[in-house]
Amino acid sequence: MSIDVSQFHQVFFEESAEGLDAMEMGLLGMQQGSDDVEIINTIFRAAHSIKGGAGSFGFGQVAEFTHGLETLLDQMRNGEREVSQHALDTLLQAVDVLRGMLAAAQQGEDNDQALAEDVRLEIEALLHAALPAADTPGLIDEPKSRLMTGWSIYFKPHRHLLQTGNDPVLMLRELAELGELSVEIDTDSLPGFCDLEPEDCYLAWHIEIHGDATLVQLKEIFEWVEGDCELEITPLSNATVADGHPLSVEEAETTSTMALPVADTVVKKDRADSAVSSIRVGTEKLDSLINLVGELVITQSMLSQLGENFEISRLPQLIDGLEQLERNTRELQEGIMRIRMLPISFAFNRLPRLVYDLSAKMGKQVELLISGEQTELDKTVMEKIGDPLVHLVRNALDHGLETPAQRRAAGKSETGLLHLNAYHQGGTIVIEISDDGAGLDQEKIRSKAIERGLISSEESLSPEQVHELIFMPGFSTAEEVSDVSGRGVGMDVVRKNIHSLGGSVDVSSGVGVGSSFIIRLPLTLAIMDGQIIQVGDQRYIIPLVSIIETVEIMPGTLKQVAGKGEIYSLRDEYVPVLRLYQLFNLTTISNSLENALLVVVEFEDQRIGLLVDALLAQQQVVIRSLEKNYRKVTGIAGATILGDGDVALILDISGLLTLYRDPSQRDVNKTFRAA
């Protein structure tokens, strides 16, 4: 019975993507001048794993392409070849080709053969170039791997090895490429035909390999089956190392010891585009969830027994049981949320390559500094923040940081600094993208806005209002259109995407000092703390983080302003008022305005008062998408199911501000309740 290895393809693609990310980060690290042998070994191991997996699962083109790449890396790590800028550029191109090949294989499509062939020929040219006669300075100071004249290998797979998708025949073929091979099969564990399980492995192999293969090369062939086999690698009796000294038995035993890495658990999750992504979850988190589920089972059993023969005298026990159930449920919810939390490095890791490519294209020298990369946020937020970060980094490289000549003229270092920082602040995550470039030119921004008809020449704007202009659709200060900027799209998309996540973006800048873009996002989009309010006969949810205060309407505090609507005098400021019962076409409970409540909410330093009939409870709510199940409604962020089974809509403060400023959109929403 043959094994369907396609069931392992998804895991291979995911692990290969991680390997490519590790290769890219390592190569970019070496771009900074760190020719570290450990970095080269990391890159080599990732390439070798991709090659081995591609060969095992039938992706021949990937395996063939990776072979030349692996050979080039092997020469570098052995100190036989200098790590030149040209070689590093070629390796980065090879990573891009491999990424495209794997994506095409995953989608069942054809990859770009022309690009792959160009990069393959470039690698071949590097391999055929003359190797330097002297040691490569600054690369590897430790001695080269000692070459052996032969090895004896005993390889006995565990019975389940075939079920993991590994094939001993493929390993024997790889060994044959390293030297002259002699193989003896051990069939002692082979059962009778009636007891034979076709998916189990019963054979073992005694192998002798003669040649100059290193122990590292041998171990790399078997690294895919670590922990799934018995493996002994010892030098042949006449084996000597390159310097003429024999390898002792102790050395052989020490170097042949293999450590089994502790693998994380992979949890699958369907994405909106039907592709499958995964997150790595530590076993301690899963153990905690299992314990909590056990507590829930015990509590449920206790409540069931109370329900069978309930008497009023047992009411205190029932109350205790319900409190315990509430506590366990809350802990289980928090445990699930911890599983969904990932370090923001997953989003930051795509940016160093972007900075490297664009700075080279623009002729700028840029140092990228990343801090707070272990700050965690929800996986859903992580997946949606990537594009805004790319736009902001591109903007900083194109408009913020100057060329070396311009920086010299301004008395600055030729190398500009781009800093990405992330940290928690209350119930939000803050991401800062800052640079030490020229800063925002307020006069230029204002002139461009007037030229494009975004503002009138008579308008007087504060510095903060001028900075806000860069987020308007169609705005750009670029003198000419390029593949990086100048089309007037980008910054408005950034703000729109961040607003869709319930976040905000602010900008601060100083001429000649630099600019900072500050993004604030909720830690999760799945669960939020909300305030339940009553409007007419309906209940709504206001995000608790948006509420500033709630006040009772006092006589004379509500004023009508011509062309602006109603405002409320709150101490030293006037707050615009939006009557929710009018917005949603409801009949208010109270006929007297003095008995109503005003909930003052804030979004991006803008406040608005929401007129409601009553405040109810505060509770955590699970957010359900309204747009996915119905359509997008301005002012509504989603929906949730309350404890009594009724559906309540969650208000979107940003959308409500839009409705206040543009009353023409309100009629559209009045049809929502009827629908």
pLDDT over 50 at 21, yes or no: yes
- Helices 491-500, 379-395: axis angle to 10 degrees equals 160
For 590-623, how does the pLDDT look when each residue is reduced to its tens digit (9 = 90+)? 666 666 789 999 876 788 999 898 899 888 787 8
Sequence-separated (6 or more) residues with CB below 8 Å from residue 150 = 179, 208, 209, 210, 211, 235, 236, 238, 239
Confidence of residue 478 (pLDDT cuts 50, 70, 90): low
Average of per-residue pLDDT across 83-104 = 86
Local confidence band at 189 (pLDDT 50, 70, 90 cut-offs):
confident
Q: Identity (one letter) of the amino acid at 534?
A: Q
Model confidence at 419: pLDDT above 90: yes
Q: What is the tens place of the pLDDT at every residue in 566-581?
A: 888 888 788 888 888 8
| DSSP string of 442-485, one letter each residue | HHHHHHHHHHTTSS-TT----HHHHHHGGGSTT----SS--SSS
Partners of 376 in the β-ladder: 343
Task: State if pTM tops 0.85.
Answer: no
Q: What does DSSP say about strands 527-535 and 538-543: parallel, antiparallel, or unpaired?
A: antiparallel
Express each pLDDT in 112-128 by its tens digit: 788 888 888 888 888 87
Please give the average per-residue pLDDT across 407-414, as a whole number.
90
Is the separation of the CB atoms in 401 and 418 below 8 Å?
yes
Asked if residue 138 has pLDDT above 50, the reply is no
DSSP three-state, residue 244: coil
Mean pLDDT of 433-462: 83
Q: Which two tokens stand for residue 444?
A: 């230029």
pLDDT at 369: 92
CA distance 491 to 394: 10
Higher pLDDT, 600 or 199: 600
Residue 51 has a pLDDT of 83
More confident residue, 321 or 245: 321
The arithmetic mean of pLDDT across residues 484-489, rounded, is 45
Does the pLDDT of residue 271 top 50, yes or no? no
Instruction: Judge contact between 566 and 577, C-beta under 8 A.
Output: yes
| pLDDT, tens digit (0-9, with 9 covering 90-100), for 632-648 | 788 888 888 887 888 88
Top mean-pLDDT range of 225-229, 474-478, 597-601: 597-601
Q: For residues 216-223, give the mean pLDDT.
A: 81
Choose among 609, 390, 417, 368: nearest CA to 519.
390
What is the residue-averaged pLDDT of the chain? 78
Q: Residue 427: which pLDDT band, with cuts at 50, 70 and 90?
A: low
Lowest mean pLDDT among 156-165, 181-190, 657-666: 657-666
Beta bridge partners of 529: 620
Task: For the beta carbon of residue 312, count every other beta carbon within 10 angstroms.
Answer: 6
Q: Region 17-21: what's the mean pLDDT? A: 85
Which of these ranges, 216-225, 271-280, 364-373, 664-673, has the smallest mean pLDDT? 271-280
Of 119-128, 501-510, 531-540, 661-670, the range with the highest mean pLDDT is 531-540
CA dist 594 and 473 (Å) reads: 42
User: pLDDT band at residue 132, thresholds of 50, 70 and 90?
Assistant: low
* Residue 618, beta-bridge partner list: 531
Residue 487 has pLDDT above 50, yes or no: no
The pLDDT assigned to 661 comes to 76
- Between vectors from CA 356 to CA 351 and to CA 357, what angle results, nearest 5°? 100
Mean pLDDT value of segment 284-289: 83
